[in-house]
Amino acid sequence: MTATPKNHFNTRWLALPLAAALAITGCSSNNGGNAPTEGGTTEQTGGSAGPTEITLFVDATWYPYQDWTGPIPEAITAATGVRPKISVATDDKQLSLMVSSGDLPDLVLSPNWQLMSDANLSHAFNDLIPEYAPELSFDPIKQLVNTAKDGNYYTIRNDFSTEAEWQAAPHAFPITPGLQVRQDLMEEMGNPEIQTLDDLVGVLQQVKSQYPDMTPLVLNPNWTHPFFSAQFGAVTSGFADQEGQLIHHLRQPELMQSFLFINRLYREGLVTSENFAYKNEVQTQEMMTGGKGFAYTWTSQGADRLNAAVGDSGMTFAELADPLSPDAKIHNSGNGYFGLYVTKSNKHLEETMKLVSYLFSEEGWQTAQWGIEGEHWEMHEEGYPVFNYDNNDEKVMKELGVYWWGVPTETGVGMSLSAYNPGSETTRVGEKYREIVEYNPALGMVNPENDSDEQIIRTNIDNMLRNEITKIYLAPTEEEAVKAYEEIIAKADNIGMEKLEAWANSQYGEYKEQYDGMVN
């Protein structure tokens, strides 16, 4: 009789932790193990003499470095007294969620300039620099292209250089769209000349008859039309400047010509229809490295990357280095990609700005990106780095911790010099295409704000185009392709393309005037 109540007591009190454990398990399984690892807190490690630890969130799931290790990061810490604690995004929405929960780290590296250039989230560089890093200064054009609507600039984005900087660096070339061909097969076919788009079609037809199991041309899903659009001189995204007036890039007759050219390639059986269904460039790269394709659209670095991937398989790739038309033009209106943002949650502004200032200095980014001068690289007398290690070997780079912590503050010229390699395919293309690059950063500044009506129109047009463009590419005749193009324009007009263009023109004049004033 006495045993029963005792047992009841035990069961009852055992049930609570058990139930709690179940509930917690339920919670954690709902998280899917993807709980953000970033912390909003900062710690001072190693007492007063040790480096200050600051948290740095990298808003790029693909970022190759996940921590601050290796001799190069250590050298940066030694120079600045700061040790970033890194966390890399596990999905594309993580930064948005961190912003909405207010749980931001000290520093954010993100391509989302629109989101982070906000006084609620980030400190403005123009406020921080005079107070904490007076030695840091930026070209006025770089300040201009990074200035938000409120007149402040919250970062200086990487990978951007002014036209003057590009002109002053003869060994630096912007990366352009590229087309790679199988060099080994070209030799087998007697090295036919490819100087025009018709020559290209002729060679692809020759491939089709000579190698029937092969797809003559494989289109990278991320680079389907830019190479061809460049040959016709078209702007490939955003707006195009036509004698001072902006039009949506879709309206350019040159762009329509490039779409029709791709349609011609399809109609002649030189690309497959399923190619337009691919979403992942890994799929098409595998087709190329697996020997199933003859030619491939990618960037000007494509041939070097494919050659590295196929190794000693006997396959070799070469770029089509010469532009294929007298109208060919590369429109460069980019304003950069990644920005380093000092967030409003930052508790170590002085130390953070010491790191930021160092990384933006010539010595700082060269150390971060190339290594220690004299030990890892030396400057060639013609102005490009010569490395003492294999700077294409990811394992070697990772051991050194070199390159990827230089990326956040690299300039366009700096990035390009890192890849300069006399005799490489990338360099061969760069030398030819640099002659036809046209710079207009003012065009890249015409960007509607998030959630604005104009932004919604732009997104809707882009979304519509993604789904409808294949109707042009896969039309059975050229007339039907033209009709499909006209229908797309009509749909874009319905969505509000004219309103978007009117808004763009209202913005562009001022930007262009400011930019031209600085250049001239």
Partner 1 sequence: MKAVTGTSTTQKQGFFQQFKKQLSFQMFVWLGLFFLLLFHYLPMFGIIIAFKDYRISTGIQGIFSSPWAGWKHFEAFFNDYNFNNLVRNTLALSFLKVIFSYPIPILLAILLNEVRNAFFKRFVQTVSYLPHFISWVVVSGIAYTFFSADYGIVNDLLLSTGIINQPLDVLTNPDSFWGFAVSSAIWKEAGWWTIIFLAAITGIDPALHEAAEIDGASRIKRIWYITLPGLKGASIVVLILTIGSILGGGLVGSNFEQAMLFGNPLNSDTSQIIQTYAFNVGLAEGRFSFATAIDLMQSVISVILIFSSNYIAKRVSGSSLF
Residues that bind partner 1 (CB under 8 A): 11-12, 14-16, 19-20, 22-23, 26-27, 30, 92-93, 96, 99-102, 115, 118, 120-121, 215, 272-279, 287, 292, 450-451, 456, 459-460, 463-464, 466-467, 469-470, 474, 491, 494-495
Q: What is the DSSP letter of 251?
A: G
Distance of CA 101 to the CA centre of its chain: 27
What's the min distance (Å) between Cβ of 462 and partner 1? 9
Which residues contact residue 340 at a Cβ distance below 8 angstroms, ignoring those fewer than 6 apart?
107, 108, 109, 155, 356, 359, 408, 409
Q: Looking at beta carbons only, is 279 or 395 nearer to partner 1?
A: 279
What's the min distance (Å) between Cβ of 274 and partner 1? 5
Q: Which two tokens stand for residue 335?
A: 């304003």
Q: Looking at beta carbons only, is 313 or 452 nearer to partner 1?
A: 452
Q: Looking at beta carbons only, is 198 or 487 nearer to partner 1?
A: 487
What's the min distance (Å) between Cβ of 248 and partner 1? 15
Decide if 219 contacts 285 (C-beta within 8 A).
no
Q: Looking at beta carbons only, is 215 or 229 nearer to partner 1?
A: 215
- The number of residues in the chain equals 520
182 bridge partner residues: 317
Triad 392, 397, 398: Cα angle to 5°:
135
DSSP calls for 66-123:
-S--SHHHHHHHHHHSEEEEEEE-SSTTHHHHHHHHT---SEEEES-HHHHS-TTTB-
Measure the CA–CA gap between 141 and 144, rounded to whole angstroms: 5
What's the min distance (Å) between Cβ of 125 and partner 1? 18
Q: Looking at beta carbons only, is 273 or 477 nearer to partner 1?
A: 273
Triad 224, 427, 364: Cα angle to 5°:
100
What's the min distance (Å) between Cβ of 169 and partner 1? 36
What's the min distance (Å) between Cβ of 149 and partner 1? 13
Q: Looking at beta carbons only, is 67 or 449 nearer to partner 1?
A: 449
| Of 308, 326, 304, 329, nearest in space to 227 by CA | 329
What's at 156, amino acid-wise? I
Q: Looking at beta carbons only, is 278 or 515 nearer to partner 1?
A: 278
What's the min distance (Å) between Cβ of 277 and partner 1? 4
Q: Looking at beta carbons only, is 263 or 369 nearer to partner 1?
A: 263
What's the min distance (Å) between Cβ of 450 and partner 1? 6
Alpha-carbon torsion angle 491, 493, 496, 502, nearest 10: 160
Q: Looking at beta carbons only, is 236 or 275 nearer to partner 1?
A: 275
Measure the CA–CA gap between 509 and 518, rounded to whole angstroms: 14
What's the min distance (Å) between Cβ of 100 and partner 1? 5
Decide if 222 contacts 351 (C-beta within 8 A).
no
